Amino acid sequence: MIVFRRFNSIKGSLLLHELSFLLIILITASVGIVWAFAWQKSSEESVRLSMMNSHVQNIRGEMYRQLKEVFDSTFLNDHDALREYNQYTKQISTFLQQLYLVAEEGDESQSIKSIEIAYDKFHEETYALLITDKPTEEQTAVLDQQLETYTFTELEKAFNNFASLLLIKQRNLSDDRKKWLAQLIWLIPIPIMVAVSLLFLSRRFVNKKVIKPLGKVIHGARRISKGELDHRFTVEGVDDVHRLASAINLMAHDLLVNRDKLVEAKRQAALGELIPLVAHNIRNPLAGIRAASQVTLDEKLDPQTQEALTDIIIAVDRLERWVTSLLTYLHPIKTNFSHSKLTVIVDNVLKMSELQLAEKKLDIKKIGWLNTTSELAIDINLMEQAVFNLIQNAIEASPESSCLTFEYIENDDVHLLTISDQGKGIRFDPIAEEALGNDQAKRLSCGLGIPFALKVIKQHFGELSYSSEQEKGTKAVIRLPK
């Protein structure tokens, strides 16, 4: 496995490609070397057999020339016959020595030995005739019958045995060549098949592990460069490409986080310039209006006027709270954690909202309150304000005589609180800051209650999400980790 992991990189892929070509060269060279060696050995054997056959034929020719000199000396009184006879003897001896040098041990050496023995007998008989001045009738009979009947018969037998032996070896050599030629027909396609297979496998490996993953990385990088910072892609390839994809995904995530932070910082800066001015210009008139209404309310007036003044005071107080929320949202939130139950916080907020609930005749439905709930570390004041804002939005969105549903779920990981109303459904997602469906509702139509609640919940490492269906109401879900 460690060996294969070395190829799991771009450098390793190129190395694998190079090794494939090197292996092809080695296989081809090995086949060529084996064939060349076998062919060279066969050629050398053929030359050796031809040389031995040539030497035997030379011995045979020289021997017949010696016999001619014997006849010339015996019947024609040729005085140069002995000298020429001796020259032929030397040549025959040389040929025999050369035969022994090129012959192999075994049947070849034995066959040459039998030729040498037969020739020695022939030489002994013919040389005795040469050195005699006047051969007797016995010697003449030997020359006429002995040589022809016995000596030449032994020599020819030795020559024929050697020729048969050479013929067998030549046939074996020819058969070996045919076998090699037959094997060559099968050996030639092997390097080609191996080369094609290695090229196919290496190309497939590079294409699967490098080229296609790089294509995915390029495509993903283009999408991210066009502004799709939430786009993520997974790549299965060599380690280098995988690390490149992970780096691009991390870069996109960092850009997305930094963009959100930049947008939030710009928004905070804009609000920082606007909210103090608005608060100053609103609070002073509001204080005068409320004071005047309070003073007038103390006098004895008719019920309708008192009710109108009371409504003015209530409206002024709401505007004051709204201005206070603006200023609170502008400044960083400092949390002071203590232990409490989320259901207890909801119950406290509902007590504060009894008048608004009664005005709209809203029913309250609680789910999960009877189950055993555990405490969690939260800032009670901030969380009550956040839940109060969400409940106020739900009350304002609910029609009269409808129902508000509170569902609490707790598991090993999170606390879930769902606030559901039966209103028309929110037309703008305040978390994603985009219109739902084809509605072009504006962000400012949601007020600052939800942004403040979202800010508090984030301080508690939680999440706030919204879901809505047209004419079926809105659900706000708070998720807090344990």
Asked if residue 465 and residue 338 are part of one domain, the reply reads yes
Neighbouring residues of 357: CB distance < 8 A, sequence distance ≥ 6: 350, 364, 395, 404
The number of folded domains in the chain is 3
The half-sphere exposure of 346 on its side-chain side, counting CA atoms within 13 A, is 21
Mean of the per-residue pLDDT values for the chain?
77
Burial, 220: exposed, middle or buried (Cβ in 10 Å; 0-12, 13-18, 19+)?
Answer: buried
Please list the pLDDT of the chain residue by residue as tens digits (482 residues): 444 455 556 666 666 667 767 777 777 777 677 777 777 887 888 888 888 888 888 888 888 888 788 777 776 777 788 888 889 899 989 998 988 888 888 888 888 888 888 888 888 877 877 776 665 566 555 555 555 555 677 878 888 888 888 888 888 888 887 787 777 677 667 767 777 777 777 777 777 777 777 777 787 788 877 777 777 767 677 677 777 777 877 887 787 777 766 766 676 666 666 666 666 667 777 777 877 777 676 666 677 777 777 778 777 776 676 666 666 666 666 778 888 889 999 988 888 888 788 888 889 999 988 877 788 888 888 888 889 989 988 898 889 989 999 999 998 889 999 999 988 877 656 655 554 554 444 343 446 678 888 888 888 889 998 887 766 788 899 999 97
Asked if residue 448 and residue 353 are part of one domain, the reply reads yes
Range of the domain at 112: 2-187
Amino acid 445 reads S
Query: Is the Cα dihedral 275, 277, 282, 287 positive or negative?
Result: positive
Burial, 213: exposed, middle or buried (Cβ in 10 Å; 0-12, 13-18, 19+)?
Answer: buried
Residue 58 CA to residue 52 CA, distance in Å, equals 10
Terminal CA-CA length for the chain: 43
CA distances to 55, 63, 153 from 68, rounded to whole Å, are 20, 9, 17
For residue 199, which of 19, 31, 26 has the smallest C-alpha distance? 19
Asked if residue 294 and residue 352 are part of one domain, the reply reads no
CATH (domain of 49): 1.20.120
Q: Model confidence over 434-460: pLDDT tens digits?
A: 545 544 443 434 466 788 888 888 888
Structure tokens at 407: 């569902």
Q: Where are the alpha helices (DSSP H) in 340-379?
A: 342-352, 354-359
- Give a yes or no: residue 409 inside a domain: yes
DSSP H or E stretch at residue 403: strand 403-410
- Give a yes or no: residue 205 inside a domain: no
Residue 275 CA to residue 194 CA, distance in Å, equals 78
Asked if residue 117 and residue 181 are part of one domain, the reply reads yes
Asked if residue 253 and residue 365 are part of one domain, the reply reads no
The answer, as to whether pTM is greater than 0.85, is no
Asked if residue 278 and residue 171 are part of one domain, the reply reads no
Structure tokens at 346: 């909801």
Asked if residue 169 and residue 20 are part of one domain, the reply reads yes
